[in-house]
Structure 1
Amino acid sequence: MARKVDDWLLSQIVGGTLDSVAEEMSAVVTRTARSPIFNEAHDFTTGVFDFTRNSTRLVAQAPGCTLHLYAIVSAVDQLMEAFRNDLHPGDVLLVNDPYHGGSHSLDWTIVMPVFHGRRPILLPAVRSHMGDNGGPVAGGYNPRSRDIWHDGLRIPPIKLYARGEKRRDVFEMILANNRLEHWLEGDLDAMIGACKMAAERIGQLLERYGPPSVIGAIEQRIEYTERRVREEISSWPDGTYTAETFADHDFQGNRDIKIRATVKVEGSGLEIDFTGSSPQVAGFINSPLSNTTSFAFVAVSTCCDESIPINEGYMNPVKVTAPEGTVVNPRLPAPCGHATACVGAEIAEAVLLAISQCAPERAGVNAHKLPLAYTNGTYEDGRPWVNLNFFGYTGGAGGAFETDGWGLYPPVMTGVILPSIEMNELQYPSRVLKHEYAADYTGAGQYRGAPGLEVKIQHLEPSYTSVMMAGVRNTTRGLCGGGDAPANLVVLGDGQSAPLEVRETAFHVHMEPGGIITFHRAGGGGWGNPLLREPGKVLEDVLNGIVSVEGAEREYGVGIVRVDGGFAVDDRKTAELRQLKEG
């Protein structure tokens, strides 16, 4: 029998319960999936949506791969639109097509409607990065892609289960178009299992409080988030703020691809307009509108209080415009396979650069310019493997007001977990030889970026590696006078010939056993004038090996001297250096 509870209290109970449901979904996927991308790296997102108004609204989301934050919203919208008049208890829906609410086709979204009576009212959903997606290239990242079909298998909105019955023919078709079918079916089962568990928990919630009360509590929760976000935006001065940044290239010979963001603050509303961005390009960095919107919202959310619940209320105060036919809203059949890194990174960066002009103490560097290098080969039994070499992508988090960059992933990737080196070496014929911070390899600032890293990964069996570089010429930008990050670099060495330094791309390079991939992964951009950094903090960085003595003088104007076998700040030299630099 449904219980009567105070409205405000019920909104907290229902909101907290649905948050817990999303987090339990995440735990189910992590503990039952087969792919290391799921059970080790955690490259997925879980959430719960409302469908009581015959349109979808995000009501709860677990911490996951942050760049999925709002891309999952468009995918769920498309699934519900496709099956609006053909939904039944036990249905399980799937989509990955970038032109049906997707981002790149490696991200698959599964939804299982939860019914009350004959109406679907809540929608558990999982969005995950799959290890392979068919197409010409193992792993799904194809720098030679010239259209969407070169990116891999396109899956429009379909049913995997109909009225609780598994559509075996559909499953077999999907498995037949994937190199990693020994992982894929288990991963899909994990995603579906998470949705089934969520359906049980949601059913218990509805039984306890009744659908009208639960729906009313969801309304209050969304209204609360919207009010909090509008209060945040209202604290920023009204005006129009414009910034632009550039992606190095599109892997097809086009360089310096522009992303331009104009942010208009008016009262408690925010408009983000990408007019002026480059036209869509030949290479696979075009960002579908859902991906563009997601990165824009991620940027906004990093500027707001982290205690605000993540739900539809975040989106209501914000309007995003992206002209069709541009790199931020391409027309079919433009390829999109790399959009979640490039130009996604630049979309978030341009928005943050614009917001930093009106809310400098809220904007932090959201670096995501990954030097992507993945390797593939076969096990002794002939089964294919694909190693995304996650260790080489760590780093890049930038500084923000009153905080240095920290952690191994920037904010746009914070839900992703660094895999266990030991498990990685059990699952792949590889060794992680080095994973260390590097000195003088981050953006300087009053608050510096996270340190850069040097990573060496050795593969022990014959394999092939493809490299897609970013952040080489157009490195991660600093904010509010902070220094830009240095350039990324990847070096391939097979032990037989001269090492290959990759500045743009290398495709399907054969690696002999023992070949080594070396990542020089730049740190994040800085925040604020480096000459305002406290000398004591610079000294601490020197003692920790993050900044050299020479770097302290060059970047921060801080003189460091040796004292009794250690280091100390030379106040007189520091004053002279800073006066000289300021002059």
Structure 2
Amino acid sequence: MIDEITFEVLRHRLDTINDDAAAVLARLSGSHLAAEARDLNTAIMAPDGRVVCCGRYVLAQVVSMHLVVRDILENYADNPGFGPGDQFVTNDPYIGTLHQPDVVVVAPIFVDGELVGWCGSTAHQADVGGPNPGGITYDARSIFDEAVPMPPVRIVEGGRLRRDLEREYLVRSRTAELNRLDLVGQVAANRSVTAEVGRLCGQYGADAVAAVMDRLLERTEALLRERLRALPDGRWRHVAYVEYRPHGGTTEAVYAVRLTMTKRGDDLELDFTGSDPQAPGTINAAYPALAGFAIGGVLIYLCGGLPWVPGGVWPVVRIRSREGTVVHARWPAGVAMSTAATCQAVRVSVNACLARMLEASRDLAHLVMASCQAAGGGGGTVHGERGDGTSYATMTLDEITGGGGATWSGDGADSSGYTTSPGASCANVEVNEAYLPLLYERRAELADTGGPGRHRGGVGTLHALTPHGDGASMTMMSFGQGLQHPLAAGVCGGEYGGQSVVAVVPDLAGLADEGERRLPMPSATVPIRTGELLVSVSQGGGGLGDPLDRDPAAVLDDVLDGLVSVRGALRDYGVVVTGDPRRPDGLRVDDPATSRCRDDRRHARIGRPPAPPAPSRQGRPLSAVLDLLPPAGDAPHREGVVACGRCGTVLCGAAGNVHEHLVVSDASPAERSPLGAVYEGADRFVLRRLYCPACAVQIDVQVCRTGDPVLAAIEVL
């Protein structure tokens, strides 16, 4: 046994060693994806592969890295075997990576001939081959139409890089030199971890280091189970949608990712078995990607204040899936675009269900967070030729500028990127211009893109760029998601964040005009010619709480900061802003007009004057706006009843679907689409708002397909 002080010293040393490895990888890489945007991560693992230290960059890249180690242990223990100084490279999404562009390199850590652990790193590489530059082929019918994945291969043997295997790996790529530098950086990062862990074992003993790893795993599992026991049992649901146009088709098909989350005692089940069958293309997620984004979501949205030790989370969270679905594809389905499509829907669904569970707890509601942006249509790969005839293929990562979700205590962070990738960011404009033959006309936060709520979601960002240089050409392959409907879910009655936008336009002048713009969905390849602008908008984060409860002074501050327009203040919050910003007294809130406007909105929601608030809440919270009350006397509902937490009105029995007893109002998602962009197919979706029939408070907001029944998002067990 080791004492607590030694334990704390060693666990922080392991974290520091792992963080230093990520810095080594970023410094040695020649790619802006790693060096600037930090689309990478590192991990230290126990001897069986369970992750005990994970970097704070792209969490989904490392939380399921044990699957790679498990494959090596099961298949290579005797042939070819592994020993000190060995390293294995793979980009096989059916074994343990997210998709083919995310290359994983893992290495065993030996001390005095004994295996004490593993280390690993992941880096998104600019191009790993396949028919389409950038490594993602939108029209892929199967994985054989994409970059062909490489199973784990021992590329470093006894500390020496195998030149034959390095050539085999690099010949696949159009950006071989960048990939070589990434590979060198990953190998060096693993060598750094191996050497530092060896020194740590030399100082404290290998047994002590092993004991720290075991305690980290055990303690994290125990703490997470303790947190779950403090939360109410229940079942929660969310549905998110992914669009994909099959090869040769003219219309996007819609695929549903359906999550039913059940919590009993200290057990948490994420059931995705109701998701749609896999697509005949590239949006599908293989199981490792499903697991990576699901567990990454649990770390962010449930484990606040707990150790981030993925290996300790896995025993607590049970993932149920069905092979052959869009979230658990069967070989050889195409999966290269999964991280920007189905995986985003997985992460949003986990986020939404965990938020519903947490908002029912008086002690843990402070952890509630709405969804951050999802990868949208503005994300994708760009490729072409420079003026000198050399080719390029990569991502700009402009889409990692969307808004963060609102929290229980405040607004979401503006243009902050993915919550589940806390250390990743968009590349700097000047860096992209230095690497690529393009010129940015604008990058700026865009008003009204944050999800409205009592607390506002963070806003997204507008980008406009054009090919630059003599003879330069550019083609984009858009991910094509979040254009027809929003993806970043609000919570506690908050609204969804703004949608994506991607379009090629002659100039920026027309974008300032109000009004609707009918746009086609992007095709597999979108050419951008000299003199044209590629315009994209990253998504906003979801809001928290009824927008009509937002402090008008906070809305005015947002207007003054350029985050909400005067028109948006009225449309989304019922706040009347008057005045002239050019005058000394500037803009101000018209308080009487705002009160009248909000009263009229509440009246319109339910068709009559709303009931007044109750003096206090009764029973235990079922959500931020619903209460679960015990049965009273000879009441027909022996299991208890669900009541509105705002006005106290009883809505239904506890065994019923409370959402069926709310006032439902369906609207077009296009009503808040940035720049007035409306894409073909948007009419297949509705934004469904649900209100208390007595006091008109907004209880929930759902995105669903037109004509779908109301989702039973909360179920009392």
TM bin, normalised by shorter chain, reads over 0.9
Q: 1:187 to 1:207 in 2, by over 3 A?
A: same
Which stretch of the first structure deviates more once superposed, 327-336 or 306-315?
A: 306-315
2:566 is aligned with 1:558: no
Deviation at 1:490, TM superposition (A): 0.7
Residue in 2 aligned with 1:270? 268
Note if contact 1:72-1:127 (Cα within 8 Å) is conserved in structure 2: no
Residue in 2 aligned with 1:512? 529
Deviation at 1:215, TM superposition (A): 0.9
CA distance, structure 1, for counterparts of residue 21 and residue 36 of structure 2: 16
CA distance, structure 1, for counterparts of residue 245 and residue 225 of structure 2: 37
* Number of residue equivalences: 574
Residue in 1 aligned with 2:319? 320
2:575 is aligned with 1:568: no
What SS does structure 2 have at the residue aligned with 1:98?
A: coil
The amino acid of 1:276's aligned partner reads G
2:466 is aligned with 1:468: no
Describe how 1:220-231 pairs up with structure 2 within 5 A: 220-231=215-226
The amino acid of 1:366's aligned partner reads C
What SS does structure 2 have at the residue aligned with 1:368?
A: coil
2:578 is aligned with 1:579: no
CA deviation digits over 1:434-454, x for unaligned, max 9? 111122222111111111221
What SS does structure 2 have at the residue aligned with 1:138?
A: coil
What SS does structure 2 have at the residue aligned with 1:161?
A: strand
The amino acid of 2:373's aligned partner reads A
The amino acid of 2:177's aligned partner reads H
Residue in 2 aligned with 1:541? 558
Note if contact 2:499-2:540 (Cα within 8 Å) is conserved in structure 1: no
CA distance, structure 1, for counterparts of residue 258 and residue 483 of structure 2: 19
Residue in 2 aligned with 1:479? 491
2:502 is aligned with 1:490: yes
The amino acid of 2:161's aligned partner reads K
Note if contact 2:370-2:541 (Cα within 8 Å) is conserved in structure 1: no
Note if contact 2:473-2:530 (Cα within 8 Å) is conserved in structure 1: yes
CA distance, structure 1, for counterparts of residue 50 and residue 144 of structure 2: 31
Note if contact 2:528-2:534 (Cα within 8 Å) is conserved in structure 1: no
Note if contact 1:38-1:44 (Cα within 8 Å) is conserved in structure 2: yes
Residue in 2 aligned with 1:438? 446
What SS does structure 1 have at the residue aligned with 2:15?
A: helix
Describe how 1:363-512 pairs up with structure 2 within 5 A: 363-371=369-377, 372-380=379-387, 382-406=389-413, 407-460=415-468, 461-476=472-487, 477-493=489-505, 503-512=520-529
User: How does the TM-score come out when normalised to structure 1?
Assistant: 0.94
CA distance, structure 1, for counterparts of residue 519 and residue 373 of structure 2: 20
CA distance, structure 1, for counterparts of residue 19 and residue 388 of structure 2: 37
Deviation at 1:242, TM superposition (A): 1.9
2:25 is aligned with 1:25: no
CA distance, structure 2, for counterparts of residue 250 and residue 304 of structure 1: 35
Deviation at 1:492, TM superposition (A): 1.5
CA distance, structure 2, for counterparts of residue 77 and residue 457 of structure 1: 44
Residue in 2 aligned with 1:123? 118
Note if contact 1:71-1:103 (Cα within 8 Å) is conserved in structure 2: no
The amino acid of 1:267's aligned partner reads G
Q: 1:494 to 1:578 in 2, by over 3 A?
A: closer
The amino acid of 1:137's aligned partner reads N
The amino acid of 1:315's aligned partner reads W
1:201 to 196, 202, 214: 196
CA deviation digits over 1:539-570, x for unaligned, max 9? 11011111112211221112222275312222
The amino acid of 2:256's aligned partner reads K
Note if contact 1:226-1:313 (Cα within 8 Å) is conserved in structure 2: yes
CA distance, structure 2, for counterparts of residue 82 and residue 505 of structure 1: 42
Note if contact 1:23-1:62 (Cα within 8 Å) is conserved in structure 2: yes
CA distance, structure 2, for counterparts of residue 69 and residue 117 of structure 1: 27
CA distance, structure 2, for counterparts of residue 470 and residue 135 of structure 1: 22
User: How does the TM-score come out when normalised to structure 2?
Assistant: 0.77
CA distance, structure 1, for counterparts of residue 426 and residue 171 of structure 2: 30
CA distance, structure 2, for counterparts of residue 347 and residue 303 of structure 1: 13
The amino acid of 1:577's aligned partner reads C
CA distance, structure 1, for counterparts of residue 220 and residue 521 of structure 2: 42
Residue in 1 aligned with 2:699? none
**RMSD of aligned residue pairs (Cα, Å):** 2.1
Deviation at 1:6, TM superposition (A): 4.7
Deviation at 1:251, TM superposition (A): 5.0
Note if contact 1:248-1:474 (Cα within 8 Å) is conserved in structure 2: no
Deviation at 1:501, TM superposition (A): 7.7
Describe how 1:186-197 pairs up with structure 2 within 5 A: 186-197=181-192
Structure 2: any 5+ residue segments left out of the alignment? 360-364, 512-516, 604-717
CA distance, structure 2, for counterparts of residue 154 and residue 294 of structure 1: 18
Identity over the aligned pairs, expressed in percent?
26
CA distance, structure 1, for counterparts of residue 169 and residue 348 of structure 2: 36
Q: 1:463 to 1:548 in 2, by over 3 A?
A: closer
Residue in 1 aligned with 2:44? 48
Describe how 1:49-88 pairs up with structure 2 within 5 A: 49-51=45-47, 55-85=48-78, 86-88=81-83
Describe how 1:299-378 pairs up with structure 2 within 5 A: 299-311=297-309, 312-360=311-359, 361=365, 362-371=368-377, 372-378=379-385
The amino acid of 2:313's aligned partner reads Y
The amino acid of 1:8's aligned partner reads E
Deviation at 1:505, TM superposition (A): 2.7
Which stretch of the first structure deviates more once superposed, 398-407 or 189-198?
A: 398-407
Which stretch of the first structure deviates more once superposed, 282-291 or 305-314?
A: 305-314
